[in-house]
Structure formats: structure tokens, C-alpha cells
Amino acid sequence: MSEMEKMESMSCNEFEEIVDDLDRPGTPGMALRERALAHAESCADCARLLTETESLDQALHAIASTEGEQQAPAWVESALLREFRFAKAGAGNSNFARHVAALGIAAAVLLAAGLSLQRFESAKGIGAAKGNQTAVSTSASATPGGVETASEFIALPYADDPDGVEGGTVVRVELSGQALASLGMPVSLAGSNGSVSADLLVSDDGTPQAIRLVSQEEGASQEF
Amino acid sequence: MTKATELTDDGLLARMIAGDEDAFTLLYRRRHPSIYRFALHMSGSAAIAEDVTQEVFMALIRDPRRFDPARGTLGGFLFGVARNFLRKRWEQDRRLVALDGDANDIGEHSVNGNGAGGAASRNGAHANGNGWHGVAGADEFATREMISRVRGAVATLPENYREIVILCDLEEMSYEEAASALGCPVGTVRSRLHRGRAILLEKLRDAQGARRVPVVRT
């Protein structure tokens, strides 16, 4: 055997490796098809393997041809189309719900922004009110009932920023122990008669923002 | 404007996601036959193949964005979904074709195994000189019988070889397409196909040894 023939010859192992690909486009086996066929001509075992492989290919091709038209029955498509319409309707409802939710969120944001703005505008008011605290106290102390003392304004628990309330109004009230508790104040502050005088700093929207307790005694002062 | 029939699978899917029923119908009609046949060959049951086909496209309707074009073709994705449904079905219901006996006969794993191949070899033909020969000119009856035997042999292949033979030899996919469908390297497809076909030949030799029915060139 010449060197060229040796180079071009194929071993049985090589043949076996590529025999499945001899008719398969784009595979290394197809590229070596001529050499493989030449080998099979000189090797009885590989010739037999080639015949078997070709027979298998033909049988598989016949199955593919005869069964190639098989498909799922029409009811499957009908069921899927129902599901598709259902899913589409669901997606539509879901989109509507999302739009409603988005509008709701937008409205809430606008409302919050409006309230914030209102509180911001009121901030100067409480500042002014605080500035007038002395005057209030002073005027209160000028009442003819005796000496009146008052604590500093204390922020109520739910007030956002009572110090920032502008234009608030101070309202004198008489609070029971229960009312004190509802404002987050110690019930013990109520006097022996179960109530206590207090000034409420009320913002423009009518919300109490801060409280100070007032004591009115003849010639005495009470620190809180 | 592009006609729907001219659209690629991805184009149809995009329209389907936008709610276009015609696009879905077209996509289904284009893709479902191969899925159905794959499921039919894998399960050996028309009822299971119908169920699997339905489930595959139901999954596409319910969550079409599970398909990632960067990871392969839509066809490959659908085959992958079909495989998963078949495996679930297999786990739930042992009514699929019984394979264990044949698999064990040739030293293979069970159908759900993922072995790289056993000792069965094409060299069976070499050893006994009594291979599975093709005989030209045989009659139609012999042809049908031979096809039936090959179909039966395919149905009894271990799962990981069977799906490759179905995709590459019955659905005539390229190695690359099959690799995409199965989510494995091309080399794995090639080696499993080689091994699966070797097992098929072994089975057919055995059958022929028992019955001596000629193979027919169609």
C-alpha cells in the first residue's frame, strides 16, 4: 500500500465513528463519505455495518414520511384558543385594575402633597403663635382671677410639626383626665377636681397641634 | 405590512403577547405537529401526546415571557417544555411504554438514566456475521413489518437516546437544532445519537436473528 493510500485509508474504528453521518448534511461524516465508502468496499464487516445503517436510515425515513402528517386533533386547538381568549380577557382586566390602582396612588400623592403644602403654609403661623406665647401667657396672667402660670407648649403625639404651625389659634379648654389621656398626656396632671385648664394650639384645619397646661392660683405658680 | 404567515416564530410570539389570536393560531399550527409527534414517539400514546401538546401551548399562553430568544429558538424551547411535561408524566404515571427490560438486556440505564452508553456495539454484526441486512425488492408487507419493528425498537430505547433519535432521525433536525431543543452540547447530541442507533441495530439484529425477516429498501 502506498503512503498516499495509507493516508486516505480509513480504519474500522473511524468508519464506525462516522457511519451514522454519511448522509447527514453539515457533519464531518458527510465530508468523509467517499473515503468511508472506499473502506467499506475493502472491509466485509464495515460493508455489512454500512448496509445495516442504510437500512435503518431508510426505515426511519419511512416512519418519518408516513407519520410526518400526524398532528394533534382539532379539540386541542379549540381548547387552546379558549384559554388564549380567557387569558387575554384576564390580562385586560388586570390592566384595568392596574390603571385604577395607578390613579388611586396618584390621587393619594396629590392629596399628601396638598396637605404638606398646607402644613408648610401653616408653619409660619405656629412660629408666630410661639412668638406670641409670652404675650398669651402674659395676657392670661393679666386675668383678674389671680396669677396664672402656664407650661411650654408640648407637641401632641399625632401632630406632624406643631412648631411649624403658622396662624394657629390658642383655645382655652378645660380637660378631664380622660381627655388628657386621649391627648397623650399623663392623667395625673388633672387636678383634684379631675380636670385641668389647658391651652390648645389649633392649626387652621382645626387639628390640635400642641397643648400647654395652665394653672391659676392666687399668688402661686405651678410648674409643669 | 408583513403578513402574519411570513413572520418568524419570534414575530408571531410578539403579536401573540400583544393579544393577537391569529398570531397564536398560526404559531400553534406551525409548531404543534412536531411537538405532538415528539410526544407521541416518546410516550407511545396518542392521548398523552395530545395532553402534552396542549400543556406545552397552555404554558406558552400563560407565561410567554419564559421564552428567552437569547437562549435558543422558540421551537427548541417548546421541545424543552414538552420534555419536562413528559418527564413529569413519566414520574406520575407509569403507563408510558415499558422500557426497562430491553434497556437492561443491552446493559443500559433505565429510561430516565443519562448514561453515556454501555458495551453494546455495532460490532455485533462483525462478530457473528449475521447482521441486519437490507434486502432490495421485498414486498410491501415486509416493508410494513420492518417499519413496525423499527418503530417498536425506537419506542423501547432508553429515554435519553430515544429523544435524540426522534429529533434527529424522525423529525430530521440538525445536531445544532437538537442541541438547542435538548439544552445540551452538539457533541452530546452526536454521541447519544451514535449510541442510540447502535442500540437500535442491536435490537433489530436480535429480532432478525429470531425471525429472519428481511429488511426492505423503501
Whole-structure pTM over 0.80, yes or no?
no
Domain housing A135: 131-217
Secondary structure, 3-state, chain B: CCCHHHCCHHHHHHHHHCCCHHHHHHHHHHHHHHHHHHHHHHHCCHHHHHHHHHHHHHHHHHCHHHCCHHHCCHHHHHHHHHHHHHHHHHHHCCCCCCCHHHHHHCCCCCCCCCCCCCCCCCHHHHHHCCCCCEECCCCHHHHHHHHHHHHHHHHCCCHHHHHHHHHHHHCCCCHHHHHHHHCCCHHHHHHHHHHHHHHHHHHHHHHHHHHCCCEECC
Residue B136 pLDDT > 60 = no
Q: Is B194 within 8 Å of A85 when comparing Cβ atoms?
A: no
Contact B49 A72 (CB under 8 A): yes
Question: Do the domain assignments include residue A92?
Answer: no
Q: Per residue in A43-67, pLDDT tens?
A: 999 999 999 999 899 899 989 988 8
> How close B134 comes to chain A (CA, Å)?
5
pLDDT of residue A214: 82
> Taking residues B104-129, what's their average pLDDT?
38
- Answer whether residue A110 is part of any domain: no
Taking only residues 48 to 107 of chain B, the set having a beta carbon closer than 8 angstroms to any beta carbon of chain A reads 49-50, 53-54, 57-58, 61-62
Q: Does residue A105 lie in a domain region?
A: no
**pLDDT bucket at A23, cuts 50 / 70 / 90:** confident
For residue A202, tell me if it sits in a domain.
yes
Which whole number is the average pLDDT over A119-147?
53
**Which of A49, A61, A72 minimises the CB distance to B125?**
A49
ipTM of the complex: 0.72
Inter-chain touch A72–B134, beta carbons under 8 Å? no
Final residue of a domain: which of A50, A67, A84? A67
Instruction: Give the whole-angstrom CA distance, residue A152 versus residue A137.
Output: 10
Q: Domains, chain B, ranges and CATH? A: 4-92 (1.10.1740.10), 100-216 (1.10.10.10)
In a domain, A120, yes or no: no
Neighbours of B73 (CB within 10 A): 17
Stronger pLDDT, A95 or B161, i.e. the higher one = B161
Which residue in B89, B91, B38, B30 sits closest to B60, CA to CA? B30
Is B57 close to A80, i.e. CB distance below 8 A?
A: yes
- The answer to whether residue A172 sits within a structural domain is yes
Q: Which residues of B touch A79 (CB under 8 A)?
A: 54
**Is residue A77 included in any domain, yes or no?**
no
Chain B CA closest to residue A87: B62
What average pLDDT does this structure show over A167-186? 77
Q: Which of A67, A89, A110 is the last residue of a domain?
A: A67
Q: How many domains does chain A have?
A: 2
Task: Tell me whether residue A78 is in a domain.
Answer: no
Look at residues A15, A46, A67 and tell me which one is the last residue of a structural domain. A67
Please compute the mean of the pLDDT values over residues B59-63 and round it to a whole number. 94
